[in-house]
Each structure stands twice: as structure tokens, then as C-alpha cells.
Amino acid sequence: GENVEQHPSTLSVQEGDSAVIKCTYSDSASNYFPWYKQELGKGPQLIIDIRSNVGEKKDQRIAVTLNKTAKHFSLHITETQPEDSAVYFCAASTTGNQFYFGTGTSLTVIP
Amino acid sequence: ETGVTQSPTHLIKTRGQQVTLRCSSQSGHNTVSWYQQALGQGPQFIFQYYREEENGRGNFPPRFSGLQFPNYSSELNVNALELDDSALYLCASSLDLAGVDTQYFGPGTRLTVL
């Protein structure tokens, strides 16, 4: 099955700086890559997603890039704010049902 | 808020007992997926239901079972609870199986097995 690796496991940045989280996947058939933000005591919230026919997608301060050849995708958050502090998960899917998640990145934005 | 609701919020059971968790999908969504999230880990896929039929199952034993009802709400049942079953159980709903569809998660049910 698919294996998704996520790095780093923890990330601390100063407010206003950028944060980058990277994921790799193993199954070349994966074609959908969502990113979720999970705050303490809550379920994961979709923040951005990308499909395999697109190399980059941006939504305000958040962007995702996908390199199908290298089988990796990244989340970029610019101008970070304290409310961006949370755990972020990447995921990959091939079939439409099973999402394979990374192990998460705990992001702390220091005011 | 996604519109996906789960009940109960928290649950404490003892080893060997049985538990039922419930999920109401977002309006218009016909597919529900269940995930187990252990502390400090990413969600692990348990199974998915599409139009009341199981459609895919992860690496979980048969004591994990489910149902989907005509209104697309769903239940997760776990028999013979083990200590390792302690986790956050998440359900996610999506619109259709045509291609890969975005899954929207509920807040989860925190299960503690003593």
C-alpha cells in the first residue's frame, strides 16, 4: 500500500516568517493530495488540496506544490500568524476511499 | 465547521466491552469513512461506506464493523475492546465516488479503554 512520510515532525517559526512542510509518497498511482490542519481537541480541517494534473496551487497565504516525478509535495505558509499554530497532516489517495496520512507536523508560531 | 457531527464526544469503556460510535454526514454527502487516530499519529483508515455498502477496508480486524443508514449517517461498532483501541475515532464524509473526492472530518469521539 501507499506510504506517506512527513517532515519535520516539529517546526517553530517567528511570526511573519514562512513555514514549509514536506511529504513524500510511494505509490505513483496516487493522484490526490490534501493537507489538513488539526487543532487540539478537534478533527482535521481541510486547508488546501492538489490533484496530480496540477503542479502548484495557492490560496492566500497557503500554497502547495507537487512534484510527481520525485513523488513529493510540500505545504508553504507565508506570513505566519500565531493562529497558524496547530498540527498539520498531509495525505495521499489513489482510489477515492482510503486516504493515507503522514505522521503530522506540530507547527508553533512564536509571537 | 464541516457539518459532520459525531457522538458521543468522549467515552470510557473497560476491556472486553463493546462500543458504538455515531456519525452524521454533511448534507448531500453519500459516503462516510472512519479513521482511528492514536495519540501523536496520523489518522488510520478503518473502512468506508457508500450508499449503505462497505467500500474498502483498512488493516483492522473483523471486530471493527460498521453500518450506513438510508440517510447516510453511519455507525462504527467495536467488539471485545482492547487497551490499544484507545484513540480518537474520526468520521469523514464526501460527496461521491466519481474520482477522488475531498473528505470532510467531524470533531471525533475520544475513546478510552481501561
pLDDT digits 0-9 by tens, A23-64: 999 999 999 999 999 998 899 999 999 998 889 999 999 999
Confidence (pLDDT) at B17: 98
Nearest residue in A to B103, CA atom: A46
Confidence (pLDDT) at B98: 55
Q: In the predicted model, is pLDDT for residue B2 greater than 80? A: no
Residue B85, SS3 per DSSP: helix
B12 contact partners, CB below 8 Å, separation of at least 6: B111, B112, B113, B114
Interface size, chain A vs chain B, as Cβ–Cβ contacts under 8 Å: 70
| Residue B96 pLDDT level (bands cut at 50, 70, 90) | low
Helix, strand, coil percent values for chain A (each to nearest 5): 5, 55, 40
% of chain B residues with pLDDT over 90:
75
| A61 neighbors A77 (Cβ within 8 angstroms) | yes
Give, in degrees to the nearest 5, the angle at Cα B49 between A104 and B56. 70
Residues of A in contact with B38 (CB under 8 A): none
Q: In the predicted model, is pLDDT for residue A96 greater than 70? A: no
| Residue A83 pLDDT level (bands cut at 50, 70, 90) | very high
Confidence (pLDDT) at B102: 86
Give the neighbor-by-neighbor strand order of the sheet with B5-7: B5-7, B19-24, B74-78, B64-68
pLDDT digits 0-9 by tens, B23-49: 999 888 888 999 999 998 999 999 999
Confidence (pLDDT) at B99: 59
Q: Are A45 and B2 inside 8 Å of each other by CB?
A: yes
Chain A contacts to B (CB-CB under 8 A): 4, 6, 31-32, 34, 36, 41-46, 49, 51, 89, 91, 93-104
Confidence (pLDDT) at B100: 67
Phi, psi of B26 (to 5 degrees): -65, 145
